[in-house]
Each structure stands twice: as structure tokens, then as C-alpha cells.
Structure 1
Amino acid sequence: MSSTSPRKTRKRRSLKTPFQLHLLQGTDLGIMALLFLVPAFLGGRLGSGQVALFAAAGGMAICWLLYQCYEESPRYRLTRFEPLLILAAILILVQCSELPANVIASISPKIREILPLWQEGESATYSLGAWSTISLSPAATRQALPFLFAYGILFVVTAQRLAHVDDIEKVFRWMALAAMGMAAIGLAQYFVGNGKYLWTYQHPMISTDGSAKGTFTNGNHFAHFLMLGSGPLFWWFMKESVTDTDVKSRRSSRKEFQYQTQRPLLSAVLLGGLGLIVFAVLMGLTRGGAAALGISLTVCLCICWKRGYVSARMLGGLMAGGGLVVVGLLLYGMDQVSTNLDDWDVDRWIIWEANLNIAKDYPILGTGLGSHFQSYRSYLNTPLFESRFTHAESGYLQVLSETGLVGISLLGLAMLFPIYWCVRGLRYAENRQEVILFAALLGSFIANYLHAIVDFIWWVPACLTMLLLQGACACRLYQITSRRHRSDLKSEPAIYLPRVIVYGVTCLVVCLTTWMVRDAVGIWQGEKEFHAFQRLAMVNSEADDAMGERTPRTLEESYEDAGQVAASLTAEQRREYAQRQLVNQVSLLIHAANMNPHDAELQYRVAEGYLIYFEILQSHSDNPMSTSQIRDAVFASEFETKQELYEWLERAFGSNAQYLYAAHAHTKTAVRLCPLQGDAYLQLAKLAFLDGAGADSEEVCLQQAEQVRPYDADVIFERGRFEWSAGKYDDALTHWKSAFHQEIRTQKRVIRLLAGAVDPPKFVEFFEPDWPALRRIVKQYRLTGNEAALEAVLPLYAERAIKEAGREQNPDAVRDWMQAVSAFQELDQPLNAERCLVAALKRYGNDIQLHETYGKLLYSMNRMEEAEQELRWCLTFKPDDPDLRRRYELAQSKRLQGESNIRLTSGQPESPPQ
């Protein structure tokens, strides 16, 4: 049995064997890996970062347990934090465990309301069964368990490893070095980078350009990591700048330590490192990160000043470091930094409101840990907003929406522990070093809690890892200092365990670590395949003329764009090229899904790929029936069993039928993993007939999609298509108009579907497009060669372009003027085009593009002298442009020829009168 006191019959060893020392070193290596290795993989967010996190946490736990096996009296030092870790694990297990329907209805009645397709009953014409978990993304919630285990053991094992203040100081030095190294990497990548992480890894969607972000996905997480390391670095600087001499302050009775040092070079390096961190945070262009760093250092300085540990000379040194930071900002981007710090986004208010609404509907246990990426879309109604929120931009709101009041209560209790340890520890601290250690820790915790209001920084493994390590340091420092002052604490609170229990726990940790690492390796491999798919899709993507970015969202879009990329090929060659690209993309998705079968969105993408591939094969087969035609034929045939249906499909479509069934299987897997995917239900509406469902299954699936994605543009678009097929044309147009203004890619679908079929003036009048949408409409008419439609819509297009060009603070005003000029030229109205160019040149007189276009226009109007002047001006800036020089020489030649003709005419004698 375990005991809280050591066995009196045994004497504890004071000397360690070499193997025990190696085990302690292994534990230390695990801590170092958490600080230096995990952040290198995009802050631990990549699959490789998860492998590093789980391996490091499990490895340090195994080393420590083996070390305890060799102790005379194996013991576990209590931190009082263990009950919260256990309760958190229970919460996750409850969320992802299968529960009776009545229990789920009592805890989260909203689930029954939004998942009608998951209700069993005689009245249900088509059902997917009964939903049986509190979490609406149970696969993602289960994946949170390995993270909780890793975070728990790294906190607990670190608390066991830190036996003395010297051990805490050693970890502090590591944290300071990690922050300094990350700041150096971030600035180096920003100033001399190539857009790749560590100059080697190219993420398909993220670049290191734009701001300093180190090895993190954005500047906010980068800045938070540096903030957490700034406190330990401040402590290290203070430690190196003190002697044993103290003097009385003339201002008060406080003791004041003189700023002296035995190692001035190290102090200078540390002070420079602190300035480097401040500079890197500011170059990260993040308001929250800059504020968090300021709060952390302010708390440290205030506590040290109050205790008399900051002298005027030391303040002078810190101000000198701050001066260097200001000089750096003046040289590199002060305007950009100040502009960014003053610019508060509206996006946060949007996503905060959505999360508050989620919390109202799921108040007790939330929607499930890890479900935010899917759940918020049921509440966010933001027309033409293309961003996707991976997190809630607030740690507290995300915890509240995902875990309810139970989870936020556990979080509140967990946050009190470090504050209590630091505040109480400051009362017990006897010397300068302990006070500064507590000050650095308290500054980090307060800044972390405040920063979490505006960002979910706990979502980043590297940031949470350093925070938990600091929590373990605070716990141990409090225990060490409090034991000296409390007579009732003669020994540390600990449990002495029989060796057999330690052996059993070691075996358990080995098994759990093996399972976690193996699962993370699968996620890592699947992630590599998915990133390869994203890169291939980006190659085939079409740059949107209004956005200026390549943002493919679906395989269908990528397939369509692939046929446009190879425009120089014949129609047959383009089709073959697009088909090859699609096969490559689907193959990558299949491999990714096999490696990571618990990703709901990945399963849907695979299903989408199979269905598109089936449609392509069918369009070139002997029996070219589409999926919708096959579905109608099945409904008309009224097969009695699924086997009869399967045999008919095989006879009619041969091997192509396997892709239809594969799409169906992956679609159902996707909605089982997460029933909030509206797109998956839209696809299921096309394939439900394979389950033997009746003709009404399409509307049932569509209604389910509307429940979970009421504002999704694709869902609204498909509702319009359904209403059109039912003969409700006005309702269909109303839905399509709503979808048109909801999302850009769906807007393109509406344009492709209706722009050629509806009279252009009526189309524009009904859909009321804004300027970017009108540009897409004109682009579609140009692609289809619809001259009549262009002639009808270009006057409005030109008028709108002129209005947009005159808008204040329009960064693309020159482009809009050029659009108006192009429209008037297509309408064969050169005088109107000239008026636009003259107006544009009055405001942007040094723009080469405007001058060159004006010169070419004058040339086409046979005004050679003016054209020559404009083109000559352009040649001073573009002397090596052969086309421009050729046109200038032609204008000059024609002008001279015209002058010669005039002279010859004026010199001829008059004809004699007849």
C-alpha cells in the first residue's frame, strides 16, 4: 500500500548510481526537447510536432519512473493539481463516450433539434441511426486525450524532477535560451528569408513573409512564446547583475541593490537578448502579443522595484536596451508596426458572438473538445467572408463553447493554482533570486491569462508546453519556500509507493506513449499527403480577378480550373490533363485518409473525389448516365433489396459502380465522425438511394444540411436547385440570390449557371452585384464569347468602374480606371476611354501603365504627335521594352510622314483655272 511518509526501516540513498544519473539526464533532455524541438514544427501544430511532443513527454516520464525504480523508497511528490487533471480526463471521456438518448437529451437538448436525420423512429423515411455522444465531433474530442495525457505528465514529471531551486533556475535558463533563439530565427526569416520555414519547409498555405513569426503559423503565437520566455530571461539578467552588497535607498527604507556584475559580457548579451525579443514581438505585427509582453515585463519590474531590487543604474541599462529597439523600429518598419497596432479587427467580434451563441445552446458540456472548426459555422452569418476560424480568437470563449460551464469552471480553478503559488510564495521568499523567480512567473501567468481573452494561445502546443513547465516551476518553488517557514511542513507532501506499483505504472506509460506516438505518426504521414494535395490543387487553381489570390476550396473547382490552366491545348488534351490531375489529387487524399482515418473533413474530400471521378468516367462510357439520372432510374425501378440494386448497377455501369459505392461509404463515414458537415449531407442526398432510401431522401438530407449549416452558401444554392426542379422558380431565384451574396465561390457557380441564360440587364437588376461580382460577371461573358451580353452590360460596368476608381482610399484605383478604359475600348468609344485616362492621370500622373495605355490609345486614334510624347515619357522608365520602343518609333515615323505630306502639298502650284 502507498504511504504519505517514508519507511523508517530504510535509509534513503544520498548517492546515485551512474545509471540513475543517466536517467535524470534523460528526463532533462525531455524537458529540453519540449522547449527547443516541439516549437520547430510550426509551434507543435504539425503532425511531426505532435510526434515530438508525445515522444518527449512520454520519454521523460519513462526516464523518471525508471529512476524511481532504483530509489530505496520510490515516492510521488504531490502538487495538489492532480484532481483537476483527472476531472479534465473524465470530462473528455464523457463527451466522446456513447450515452443513452435520454441522457443526451437532458444534457444537450439542442442536439436532437439540429440532427433530425439521426433520430430513429417509425415515422422516419430515411435515418442514419441514433446520435449517441455529447460531442458533435467525437473523433476530434478523442484526439484531445493524448494531448491531455502528454500535458499532464510533462507537468507532473517536471514537478518531480525539480528538487531544488538550482533545478528551477536551470529550466529557467533553457526557457530564456529557447525564447532568444526563436526571436533570432523569426527576425532572420523576416529580413533574409525565402518564404519557407527554417529556409527549407514550404507550407502549402502559409508563408514566413509579411511579419516575423519564427516557426509559428502567425505572429500572435510567435509573440506569446517570446513573452513566456521574456520573464526567465529577465530573471537571468537580474541574477547576473548583482553582488552581495546592498545599500539603503535615500528615498525610502527599502534595500536597493547596486547594478554590478562579475560577468559584464554575459549581462550585455542577456540585455541584448531581451531587446531582441521586444523587437521581434513588435515586428510580429501583433497587438495582443505586444500587450502581453509589456504586461509581463511590467509586472516583473514592479515587483522587483517594490522589493528594492531595481536601481537607477539598472533602469538606465534597460532604457538603453529599449532605445536600441526604437532605433531598430525606425530603421525597419515603424509605420507598419504602428499602423498594425492601431488597427483592431472586426473579425473577433464576429466569431466571439458565434461562440457565445454556441454556449447558450450547449451550456453544460458544450459541443465537444476540438469541435469548434465545425460548430461555429452553424452560427456565423457573414456574407462574402472567406476566412475560416480554426479557433475562437479567445481561449475562454472556445473552452466555454466546447466544454460548457463544466469545462470553464475547471479552467478557472486551474488558473488559480499558479497565481496562488506565486502570490503566497512571494511572502515566503527569503532572498533576491527567489523573489525575481516568482516575479517572472507571475508576470508570465498574468500576461497569459489576459492574452487568452483575445486569442486561443493554449491551442498551440509550444506555448502551452512552456506555460505548464512554468507552472511546475511555480509549484515547486512555492513548496520549497513555504516548507522553510511553516512548522507544520517538516517534509514535502508526498506518497511513498511500493516498487511493484512503480513497475506497473512504468509499463502503462510505455504502452500509452507507444500508442500516442504511433497514432501521431499516422496523422503526420496523412498530413504530408494532404499538403501535397493542397500544393497540387493550388497549381491548378484560378487566380480570382477580384481577390488576387488562389483559393481553391473543392475538388470540383480544382478540376474545372485544371482545364483552364492548360489553355494552349486542344479540348481533348485539356480534358485528359484535368482528369490526370484529378486522379493524382484523389490518390493523395485516399492515402491521407488511410493514414488518418479519424479526420471527418478528409473523409468528405475523398468521397467528393470519388464522385467526381465517377461522373467523368460516366460521361465517356457507353452508358453515360449521371448520378442524378441513375438515382431517378433507381427510384422508378423500386428494387426490393440492396443486393438487387447492386447487381443492376454492376450490369449497367460495370467497374465504374465501385467508385459510386466508395463515395457513398466515405460520405457516411464523414457524417459519423462529425454530423455538422453540411456539404457531406448534400452529397449524401445524391447517394442515399444506395441505402435503399426513397425519393424523399433528397429533401430529408437537404433539410438536415440546412439545420447544421443554415448560412452555408452551398446549402442555400442546392436548396435553390431543388426548388427549381420542383417548378418553384421564384423560390429558386430567391435562394440563389441569397447564395450569390453569401460566398464568392458560390457566386461564381450562380454566374456560370445563369449568366448566359438570363438577359444581362435583368440578371444585374435582380442579383444586384457589387463591383467585384460585376467584374466576375463580365469575365464570364468574355470566357463564353457572349458579345451581345457584353455589349449590354459593359456600359454599367464602365460606370461602376469609374465610381469605384474615385472612391477615397481605394488601393486599386489605377486598376479600376484601366477596367473602365478597357470597357470603353470594347464598346468602340475611344473618346470616353480618353476622358477616363485624362482623369486618372490628373491624380496619378506618374503611373507608367496609365501613360502607356494613353499613348497606345492616341496612336490608335491617329494622333501621332501626342502619342509620341506619351510613349517617349514611358521609354525613360522602360528603355528596354521592345514593344514600347517599336510603337514609339512607328508613331514618330508616321508623324514625320504626315508632316512631309503637308509640306509637299503646300509647295505645289495652284491648278490653272479651267
Structure 2
Amino acid sequence: MSAFTESIAAPKPRRQTPKHQRGTTRRRTSAPSVASEQSALVARLDQLGDGCVVVAVLVVPMMSACLQDLGNAIFVACSLLLGVSWAVPQIVAPRQGSAASGAEFIVFAAIAVVCLQLVPLSGATLKAFSPFADDYLFLWGSERGRVLGGHSWNTLSITPSLTRSGLVLLIAYAVFFLVLVQKLTSAERVDQLIRLVAVAAAVMAVIGIAQRFAGNGLFLWMFEHPFRAADFPVKAAFSNQNHFAHFVSLGVGPLIWCWHQSNLSQQSAFTGKQQQTSVTLRRSETTRNAALVAIAIVSLAVFLTNSRGGILVFLLASGVAASVAGLNLRMLMKLIIPALLFAGLGILAYGTDGLEHKWNTITRAQSLHDLSQGRFALWASLVEAIPHFWKLGSGVGSHAEVYPTWLAEDFGVRFSHAESGYLQILLETGVAGLTLVAAAIGLCMYWIIGTFRRSQGTARSRSLILVAGLVASVAHSLVDFVWYIPGCMLVTIVLMAALCRNFQLSDTSSSQGGESRWPQALAWGLVLCMLPVGNLSADVAVRDAASEDDWNLYRKFAIHANDNVAADSPESLNERLDVIIQHLENCLAADPQDYRSASNLAAMYLRRFERQQETGSNRMSIREIRNTVQTVGFESAREIAEWLNRAFGPRSADLYRALTTARKAVRGQPMRGENYLILAQVGFLAGLSENEEEHLVAQAIRLRPHSAGVLFVSGLFLIDKGDIEGAIEKWRTAFLQDAHIRSLIISSLVPNLSATEILEKLSPDHTGLQSLFTAYAADKRTDDQQTVAAWYAQNFERMLQDPNVSRDRNFWLQGHQMLKFNGHEKLALYCLSQAAQAAPHDFALRRSLGLELFRHEQFDDALRELKWCRLKTPDDTKINEAIKQISNKHRSRGES
């Protein structure tokens, strides 16, 4: 893209003056010299601003997968540099700019709302705006919660550190938009910006396809994501294929604009409306062909994402943008047919399995709830949460901390965002924030309607191109959180700025900005606010970026450590814990306000202590240590520390680390119920009484009433008090939700209760039954095994009614094992055959099926399975012997 700067006229050569006038002339020509230097400075600053725009649009989205915090820091820096590079020349030598557009009021109101969320408020004021703290954070400011510091919660934001980061990003968006509007001084510069977005979309699509067919699983061939591969589905530089599809949907309109403009240029030349050289014609033809190829590549890339929502919004944006061709069907066919052919051939060459799976998911779904999986449950929880924060919200960035209080179903994932931009904005900023969003959408509608009313031709076509991406953004945000992805949001802002200026420039009846005082006021405002805003931005953005690498490594190792833990030795798991803890400690060292790392670190300290205790000489659990301390009645915290050091050595330091870190975490993220439980577990180090521990547990349950981990630990406290029935009541829900918690509950109950008692109290599902069956087998309690197997057989038909269960291979394998143990041979064989159908390429499974069929004298079916297995392992003696015996039986039958 050519630079945004306008050409600056070269200074005129000086006239030769007579000798007797030279002294005077030298003094008089000093002013033009200063003006020349001033013009050069203005040009360099203008080029710097243009460079910032290019970096923001082309580079920042490339960092969306693995380096998003660093990308945010770069964008913040680009935005502030853009503001300075425009504001300083505007003050020194005022130039023509854009008049106020109306968006300024929305921008400043949005910043004011977020700032208000961070301002400490009195108890009465806070309750007037948000009664949530009084109802849910009842330990804050109470004597019962002295371990929390004794201070009441005093901000609207439940997560002030995350809201502060959101404020910095919001300010960067605001500066970027307001200054970009001023820099677009002509329609040509608007077109340059549109071409920049087109290039960004085309480059991103090429990267996505290249990573699919020539990638190494890493993003941009360099960066590893903790739990996502870059090759499939196609994601390009985004961690989520939906967001990649959205990004190119924002750019398909600008690509169509490039194609449309080159077509018009050639038509004008052929009709004689414009005199163009052969070089210009060749350039127009090259641009048209390049745009067509880019549109085809982008179309293929979108379809390879397998994203239902992404494909739909891409088609929507393409349809709106293609309307620039009007009723010219021939021109439309030239655009649509090549793109469809290329995308179709690419999909056929690649394979249609992914798209067929998505289509089958849609056609087989019986309701929107089935189609959206966990989205409806998440949205239902947000509908319950929003009334507690409806005025000014729970704080920007707080969604992930708030929704678990109301989400009753566990999906095994943490919803970082609300899967709907509108719902998340309503939760985090209340009615005030959603009203501003509606005002922004309404203002964009005003701009496009105004453009159509007062202009013709190119301005109308340009507005259609720009609004195509904005329509995609507004529609996609209903079911996704694309506004919370900076790589997508900044391009949306670019389109809005271009739409605003296209509207203003279409008004040829009035001068644009010459008489407006707004550009000068904006310039002075940017300069005066740059120091405090720059300090805040540097502090927050740099700290966020500094801890990002270690955070990603922590997530990577944590995921691997949780995989197949049972197969690992305690030593290897402890080594992983050391690595995990080191990365979390690095996060906190780089960013002391990284409270999410502090929360996880406190839990990791306790886990490491427990793991070390399992192999130590004095194998006391934390519960036993707490009960011992409370029973003995040490006189001071120092005596407790001395006893712990004598009993457990240096590893007892992890208990104190957990206490300190949990205190820090709960003060920055008070919604995490797990932190209160950690304080309750190790609070004896600070002399907490049993009553105070109970209040901490109650606070945890209030904030995380459906968390399996919280329910399990709270049940342990009830067991310590002798309330087994109360503990089982807590565990009944947790038992069904989480496999790890289920194993902990079973290990706590199996030594003390019979199978009949556990089955009656917990009513486990098929996975719980399998866990119980395995636990009693390890304990060599055959009678209890028989009881579990009989229960499974009695409820087998009922369990089959769940369509999700019937497609689970593990369900059929478990059924085979328990039904066979219980003597239901035929039903067990049926389960094994269903498991083989669910996994037709599993050699071990089909081998077992073949041998079982042979044992049950179902020779024809057995021969089919065993012959398939022999192709894999020709030397397997059991398979060969079974095939030989079947052949002999067939031969003997034939002779008879």
C-alpha cells in the first residue's frame, strides 16, 4: 500500500541578491528555512503514523494465537505513536481535518464507564450500583474474614487488574479510531486503507492454507500453542478457526472493491471516458486478476475452517459487498464463478469429511440446544448473572470469573468468553455499555444512509464495501466473541473509520474540517493526556506481555501433567509439578498483578506438598496435619512452624507459600472459590479457628456452588466434623461431573462403605459404575464387584436411551467388562461388537471381538474379523489357530 502521506511541495530555489543586500536577505530567509525544516518534520511524523497503521493491520493479527498479549502491547504502542505523530504537527502547523462525527461522545462515554468500574466507592454507593458484593462477598469487611485483610470490597469491577488491562486496550482503540479519521483527508486515502485491509485478509488466507498443506503444526511455523495445532482446521495466525473466518470476512469486501475498481478503470478506458496509457491498463488488469485470485483463496480458506458461523458470515459479507456490481449479471458471474470453482476444486482435493461432519451435526440436531452444545447452558447462566450487575457491569474482563457461580453443568472446559459479544458486554459493562454499543451500530447506519442520500456512484459503492464487514461483525457477535479478539476488532475499527470519512467526504456542499475546532482540540487533548496514558499503558501492556510466554508454557505442561496421570510414576509427576510451579512463579515475577497465576500457583503448592507426602517418611495429609495442630493447641505460629520443620523438613515451606499466594490471589480475584478453600485448608498456619474455616468454606460454596473441586473439599471438612451424610450430599453432584474428583471420592468412600451403600447414596452413571467396579477389584472385594455389575445390568437399558452414550466406545467396553463379569455373555458380546463398530481401525479391539465370536461359535462373523486382523499380524498364533479351526469346521460341514 502506498503511504498515507500527501506529497509535500519542494521549497522554491532562492533568488540571487545583490551583494549590498545579502546581510538583510540572510536574516529574511531564515523564516523559509525554518518552514522547510518544519515541513520535513511533519512529513516524517506523517510517515511514522502511516507505518503504525500498517503494522497494526498487518502485524498485530499475526500474533493472535500464541503471542496475543505481546500483540496487544504492540498495538497499544502503535496507537499512541499514531496519536503523537498526528497531534504534534497539528499543534505546530494546524492542517485541515475532519469535523466531529458523533462517535467521539460514544468513545469518551465508554472510557468513562470503565474508569468508574475502577474507582473505589463507599459501601452505600457500591450497593446502589451493584448489590452483588453484599450478597456474595459476605466475608469481606467482616471479622469472620480477617484472613482476607479486613477490608470491604470497594470497586464495581470484580477483577480490577483485568479491567485495567481492558481500559488500556479501549484507550488504544479510541486513539486509533479518532486519529485515523483525521488522517483520511481524501477519498484516495480511504481507498488506500481499504486496499491495506484487502492485503491483510489475502495474506492471512495464504498463511492458513499453507499451514494446512505445508505446515509443521506450529503457528507461523514457529510458535507452539498449548493445546491447539495450526494445521487443522485452518486457522492461520488465530487460535480459533471461527476468528480466522471472521477476519477474512472483514477483508472480503475490500478485496471485491479492488476487483471492482480495476474493472471500472478498464471499462472507462474502453469507452473513451478516460485517457489511460498501456501501462495503466496493464496495471488495472493485473490488479483485477490478483484480486480474483485472492478472493478465490480466501473463499477456499474459509471453507477449510469447518466453521459454521464463520462460513455464514463470510457468505453474508460477500453478498453485501458483491452488490456493488448492481444488476450487472455478467460482472457478477466473473466474480463468483472463479471463486466458487477454485474453492470447490480445493475442497474436493482436500476432502469433504470435515464439512460433511459439520452438515450432519446440523441436520441431526433436534434443537438449537443440541446444535450449540454448551453455549445455551453458558448463556442461561449469564441470564441469571446479569441482573446482579445490570447497571454498570461486573468489570471489563471479568466474565470468566463470574459465570461459574451460575453455570450448573460442567463441560470440562473453561469459557474464557461468553460466546456472544452482546451478552458479555451486558455482563461486564451493564446497560450503560450495551447502550453505547447500540449507539455505535446506529451511528454506522446513519453514516451509510446519509452517504446514499447525498451522493452518487463511487461513494455509495465504497460504503457498501465497508458496511459488508461491519454487518458480518454485528451478526457474528451474536454467537461469538470476535469483538474481544484485538486482531479482529482493530480491523473493524478501521472499517468504521473509513465509513465515517466516506460519509463526511460525500458531502460536497460544505467544507470539511476547515472551520472545525475539533481537530485542534483533539490534538491538544492527546498531547496533554499522553504522559499519564502512556505510563498506564506501558505499565499494564508490558507486564501482560512479559508473563505471556511462561503462562503458555504453564498451560502446556499442566495439560500434559493431567494426561494419563495414573500411568506416571510419582517422581515424574513431581518433576512436572516443579516445572509448572517455576513457570507460574515466573509469571508472578514478571507481573505481580497476575492473579490468575497466583490462584493456580497456590493450588500447585498444595498439590506438590501432597505428592511429596505420599513418598515421604511421615505420610500425613494436610487434613491430618491441620487436625493435629488444632488438637495439640500450639501457643504461637512460631511453634507451629518449628514443629512442621521438624516433622516434614523443607517441603513444609510449600504450605506457607500456598497461604501467602492464596491471600494475594483472593484479593485480586475474589470470585474464585478455590482460593477460599486453600485458605481454609492452610489457615491453621495463621491461627484460624474451626469457625473461621467454616466461614471460608461457606464463602467458597456461595461463589462456586457447582464446582466439583469445591464440593469435594467442602465435603472433606464435613467428614472431619463427623457429618458423613452432609459430605455425601455435597459429593453427589461432584461425583457425576469430574473424573478426577470422582476417583478422589471413591478412594475416600470405598474403604469405609459397601457397594450397596455407595450406589444408593450417589446414584452413579455408567462412568461412575466403572470407577467403582475398578476400585473394588483393586481392593479384591469380589462381592462388591458383583453388586456393582448387577446394578449396571439392571440399568443398562435405561443408559442406552442416552444418544451420546451409545456413540461412546468406552461405554461399550465398560459394558462388555461388567456384563461378562455378571454372567450376561450374549449382552457382553453385543457390547464388544458395538465398540468395534465405533472404532473400526482398532486392531486390539477387533482381535478381541474375533476371538470372542469364535468362543461363542459365531464362526462366520469371527472369520471376517480374524482375517482382517491376520492382515495386520500374520504371525499371531491365536488368530491363525482360530482361523484354522473355523476352516476345518466349514470343511467338515461341506463333506457331510
Q: Could you tell me the TM-score, scaled by structure 1's length? A: 0.82
1:833-872 equivalences under 5 Å are: 852-857=847-852, 870=862
Is 1:390 equivalent to 2:416 in the alignment? yes
Cα distance in 1, alignment partners of residues 300 and 468 from structure 2: 19
Is 1:602 equivalent to 2:602 in the alignment? no
Identify if the C-alpha distance between structure 1 residues 336 and 269 changes in structure 2 by more than 3 Å, giving closer, same or farther: farther
**Contact 1:287–1:340 (Cα < 8 Å) also in 2:** no
Cα distance in 1, alignment partners of residues 100 and 35 from structure 2: 21
1:20-419 equivalences under 5 Å are: 20-42=42-64, 46-68=68-90, 71=93, 78-120=100-142, 128-243=150-265, 263-302=284-323, 304=324, 309-321=326-338, 323-324=340-341, 325-331=343-349, 332-333=351-352, 334-339=355-360, 344-382=371-409, 384-419=410-445
What is aligned with 1:581?
A: 576
**Contact 1:855–1:868 (Cα < 8 Å) also in 2:** no
**Contact 1:805–1:813 (Cα < 8 Å) also in 2:** no
Cα distance in 1, alignment partners of residues 852 and 798 from structure 2: 22
Cα distance in 2, alignment partners of residues 602 and 385 from structure 1: 22
Once the two structures are TM-superposed, the CA of residue 118 in structure 1 deviates from its matched residue by: 0.3
| Cα-to-partner distance string for 1:390-420 (whole Å, 9 max, x where unaligned) | 1112111111111112222222222222222
**Contact 2:218–2:229 (Cα < 8 Å) also in 1:** yes
Cα distance in 2, alignment partners of residues 237 and 687 from structure 1: 67
Cα distance in 1, alignment partners of residues 804 and 617 from structure 2: 58
Q: 2:510 aligns with which of 486, 490, 498?
A: 486
What is aligned with 1:251?
A: none
What is aligned with 1:459?
A: 484
| Cα-to-partner distance string for 1:470-511 (whole Å, 9 max, x where unaligned) | 1111222222222x1237x68352447599x86x95586377
What is aligned with 2:544?
A: 523
| Cα-to-partner distance string for 1:126-150 (whole Å, 9 max, x where unaligned) | 8742111111111111111210121
| Cα-to-partner distance string for 1:234-293 (whole Å, 9 max, x where unaligned) | 21111011148689xxxxxxxxxxxx9973343233123223323322332233323322
Identify if the C-alpha distance between structure 1 residues 847 and 871 changes in structure 2 by more than 3 Å, giving closer, same or farther: farther
Q: Look up the equivalent residue of 1:759 and give its one-letter code.
A: S
Identify if the C-alpha distance between structure 1 residues 600 and 118 changes in structure 2 by more than 3 Å, giving closer, same or farther: same
The secondary structure found in structure 2 opposite 1:118 is coil
Cα distance in 1, alignment partners of residues 238 and 423 from structure 2: 22
Cα distance in 1, alignment partners of residues 125 and 804 from structure 2: 56
What is aligned with 1:708?
A: 703
The secondary structure found in structure 2 opposite 1:454 is coil
Q: 1:688 aligns with which of 683, 691, 701?
A: 683
Identify if the C-alpha distance between structure 1 residues 617 and 750 changes in structure 2 by more than 3 Å, giving closer, same or farther: closer
Cα distance in 1, alignment partners of residues 870 and 752 from structure 2: 45
Once the two structures are TM-superposed, the CA of residue 87 in structure 1 deviates from its matched residue by: 2.1
1:739-778 equivalences under 5 Å are: 739-778=734-773
Identify if the C-alpha distance between structure 1 residues 875 and 16 changes in structure 2 by more than 3 Å, giving closer, same or farther: farther
Once the two structures are TM-superposed, the CA of residue 804 in structure 1 deviates from its matched residue by: 6.2
Once the two structures are TM-superposed, the CA of residue 435 in structure 1 deviates from its matched residue by: 1.7
Greater share of helix: 2
| Cα-to-partner distance string for 1:625-672 (whole Å, 9 max, x where unaligned) | 543344345445666765666566667766445332221111011111
Identify if the C-alpha distance between structure 1 residues 802 and 814 changes in structure 2 by more than 3 Å, giving closer, same or farther: farther
Greater mean deviation of Cα atoms: 97-106 or 327-336: 327-336
Cα distance in 2, alignment partners of residues 708 and 397 from structure 1: 20
Cα distance in 1, alignment partners of residues 838 and 634 from structure 2: 72
Once the two structures are TM-superposed, the CA of residue 871 in structure 1 deviates from its matched residue by: 6.0
Cα distance in 2, alignment partners of residues 427 and 593 from structure 1: 56
Q: Look up the equivalent residue of 1:360 and give its one-letter code.
A: P
The secondary structure found in structure 1 opposite 2:135 is helix
Identify if the C-alpha distance between structure 1 residues 314 and 710 changes in structure 2 by more than 3 Å, giving closer, same or farther: same
Structure 2 spans left out of the alignment, 5+ residues: 1-30, 270-280, 366-370, 892-896
**Contact 1:364–1:406 (Cα < 8 Å) also in 2:** yes
Q: How many residues end up aligned between the 2 structures?
A: 840
Q: Look up the equivalent residue of 2:408 and give its one-letter code.
A: N
**Contact 1:240–1:263 (Cα < 8 Å) also in 2:** yes
Is 1:667 equivalent to 2:692 in the alignment? no
Identify if the C-alpha distance between structure 1 residues 817 and 281 changes in structure 2 by more than 3 Å, giving closer, same or farther: same
What is aligned with 2:561?
A: 540
**Contact 1:536–1:585 (Cα < 8 Å) also in 2:** yes
| Cα-to-partner distance string for 1:542-565 (whole Å, 9 max, x where unaligned) | 35xxxxxxxxxxxxxxxxx2xx33
What is aligned with 1:874?
A: 866
Cα distance in 1, alignment partners of residues 194 and 682 from structure 2: 58
Once the two structures are TM-superposed, the CA of residue 807 in structure 1 deviates from its matched residue by: 7.5
The secondary structure found in structure 2 opposite 1:679 is helix
Identify if the C-alpha distance between structure 1 residues 85 and 690 changes in structure 2 by more than 3 Å, giving closer, same or farther: farther
**Contact 2:581–2:604 (Cα < 8 Å) also in 1:** yes
Q: 2:622 aligns with which of 618, 627, 639?
A: 627
Q: Look up the equivalent residue of 1:320 and give its one-letter code.
A: I
Once the two structures are TM-superposed, the CA of residue 843 in structure 1 deviates from its matched residue by: 11
1:608-623 equivalences under 5 Å are: 608-616=603-611
Identity %: 26
The secondary structure found in structure 2 opposite 1:241 is helix
Identify if the C-alpha distance between structure 1 residues 899 and 224 changes in structure 2 by more than 3 Å, giving closer, same or farther: closer
Q: Look up the equivalent residue of 2:461 and give its one-letter code.
A: I
**Contact 2:197–2:251 (Cα < 8 Å) also in 1:** yes
Identify if the C-alpha distance between structure 1 residues 817 and 738 changes in structure 2 by more than 3 Å, giving closer, same or farther: closer
Cα distance in 1, alignment partners of residues 373 and 344 from structure 2: 29
**Contact 1:805–1:814 (Cα < 8 Å) also in 2:** no
Q: 2:586 aligns with which of 591, 594, 612?
A: 591
Cα distance in 1, alignment partners of residues 348 and 855 from structure 2: 49
Once the two structures are TM-superposed, the CA of residue 219 in structure 1 deviates from its matched residue by: 2.2
The secondary structure found in structure 2 opposite 1:385 is coil
Is 1:887 equivalent to 2:878 in the alignment? yes
Cα distance in 1, alignment partners of residues 679 and 753 from structure 2: 30
Identify if the C-alpha distance between structure 1 residues 169 and 43 changes in structure 2 by more than 3 Å, giving closer, same or farther: farther
Q: 1:565 aligns with which of 561, 564, 567?
A: 567
Cα distance in 2, alignment partners of residues 281 and 477 from structure 1: 29
What is aligned with 1:678?
A: 673
Cα distance in 2, alignment partners of residues 834 and 297 from structure 1: 54
Identify if the C-alpha distance between structure 1 residues 772 and 60 changes in structure 2 by more than 3 Å, giving closer, same or farther: same
Cα distance in 1, alignment partners of residues 519 and 247 from structure 2: 36
Q: Look up the equivalent residue of 1:477 and give its one-letter code.
A: N
Q: Could you tell me the TM-score, scaled by structure 2's length? A: 0.84
The secondary structure found in structure 1 opposite 2:264 is coil
Q: Look up the equivalent residue of 1:407 and give its one-letter code.
A: G
Is 1:423 equivalent to 2:449 in the alignment? yes
**Contact 1:867–1:891 (Cα < 8 Å) also in 2:** no
**Contact 2:250–2:469 (Cα < 8 Å) also in 1:** yes
